[in-house]
Amino acid sequence: MRILHILDHSIPLQSGYTFRTRAILEQQRALGWETSHITSPKHYVAESLEEEIDSFHFYRSPRINGVRARLPIMNQFAVIDTLAKRLDEVVRKVQPDLLHAHSPALNGAAAVRIARRWGLPVVYEVRAFWEDAAVDHGTSRAGGLRYRLTQGLETWVLKQVGAVTTICEGLRSEIIARGIPSDKVTVIPNAVDPGKFQMGAEPDQTLATKLGFKGKQVLGFIGSFYAYEGLSLLLESFPIILASAPNTRLLLVGGGPQEHNLKALVRERGFDDKVIFTGRVPHAEVQRYYDLVDIFVYPRLPMRLTEIVTPLKPLEAMAQGKLVVASDVGGHKELIRAGETGELFKAGDPEALAHTVLNLLAQPEHWPQRKAAGRRFIEKERCWPASVARYETVYRGLC
C-alpha cells in the first residue's frame, strides 16, 4: 500500500505535532507500507523542494509571496492553492493508493481537490480544532469571522473525505456532532514508545546541585507555556504547597507566550529561589531534566480546547514511571485513571491543586505502585505499535 501523507510540518521540528508524525511514519514503515510525505507552505523552512531527513524523503511546497501572502484570510486560501499545485505534481510522481491529510483543514481541502482529479480516497486526521487553538493564542476571536470560516472549512473537509481519524474521544464526539456518521470516525490515540523511556533513572547530581535541588522534592512541567496550560494556576497554588512542604521546589522547562508573565508572577510572590525557569533546552538534554522531577503537574484550565483534546506530555511522564497530577479537564480524564495511574484535581482551583500535590507528597509508600501502574498503562494501551496498527483497518476500508 502506498500512502501519501500531507502535513503542515515535519521532523526534525520538535513539537507534539511532529513527535506523532515521526511515530506514525516509523511504525508504518515497520509494517512494510510505502509512505511518501509532502509539507504545506506553512512548513518552518522550505529552502529546497525536496529534502531527506532521518531517512525520510519530504516533498516541500514553495513559499507564498506577493499580495496574497499578506492579506488576512486570502493568505489561507493561497496556502490551499499552492499546496494543491505541488500535491498534484507529487501524486503524479509517486502514484499513491491513498492520501492521508493531517489537520489543519487547509491540508484537507488541498487533498480533496487533488483526490477528485486523480480518483483517490482521502483519510483526514484531526489532531485539534485549529480555530480553538487560535483563540487561545490570541490570533482569533471565538465566534468571529475567522473562527467561523475555519470551522466551516473543517466541517466541509470532514464531509468530503472517505474516512476521518482523530486522537481522542473528545474530538470524535465533536466531529460526530457536526453531522459526520459515527462509523466514519476512528480514534487513533496519541501514544509513546516505551522503549525510548527508562523507568527509575537516577537524577544527574551535578545538574541537581546546579539548580539547587539537592535533597529537595521537585514538582515539574516540561512543555510550551501557553495560557491554557494553566501554569499561572500552578504558581498561585505553590505558596500553599510551600507552607506545608517547604522542601519543595518547582522546575519549569520550556518557553512560550506566557513566559514573561509567569516570571513576573514569581518575582511578585518572592520565591525566585524556589521556582527555576530553564528556558528551552536542546531535545537531547530534556531527559536530564525529566530525571530530576518527582511529580509532574499538568494544570490545564477548563475550556473547549482542553476539554476535547488530549495532550502527549502526561504519557511521556508515565512511561518514565513518574508521578502525575493533572486537572480534571476532559483531555486529561481520557489519559489518567485517578488513584491508579495518577491524580486529578478540580480544574481552575489552586487550592485543590495544592491539596492534591500535598496528599501525594505525604504518601511516598504508595509511589512505587502508582509509578508501575502508569508504566503498565503505556505498555499495554498507549504504545505506538498498538495505536498505529489501527490505520490498516481505516485504509483497507477505502482501498
CB 116 within 8 A of CB 140: no
- Quote the Cα angle for 395-398-399, to 5°: 85
- Quote the Cα angle for 117-158-58, to 5°: 60
Residues 274-286 pLDDT 10s: 999 999 998 889 9
In this prediction, residues 209-234 reach a mean pLDDT of 95
Fold (topology level) of 194-382: Rossmann fold (3.40.50)
Record the cell numbers describing residue 358, joined without a space. Answer: 500535598
- Is the predicted pLDDT of residue 310 greater than 70, yes or no? yes
CB 289 within 8 A of CB 253: yes
CB 127 within 8 A of CB 166: yes
Give me the sheet containing 275-279, strands edge to edge.
Answer: 275-279, 248-255, 217-224, 295-298, 323-327, 343-345
Percentage of residues in the chain having pLDDT higher than 90: 73
CATH class, range 2-191+383-397: alpha beta
Residues 314-364 pLDDT 10s: 999 999 999 999 999 999 999 999 999 999 999 999 999 999 999 999 999
Query: Domain limits of the chain?
Result: 2-191+383-397, 194-382
CB 251 within 8 A of CB 220: yes
- Quote the Cα angle for 113-115-120, to 5°: 170
Binned at pLDDT 50, 70 and 90, residue 12 comes out as low
- Quote the Cα angle for 105-106-110, to 5°: 110
Measure Cα distances from 99 to 6, 53, 58, 164 in Å. 7, 21, 15, 12
How many CA atoms within 13 Å lie on the side-chain side of 2? 10
What pTM, to 2 d.p., does this model score?
0.84
- Per-residue pLDDT, 138: 61
Record the cell numbers describing residue 80, joined without a space. Answer: 490551499
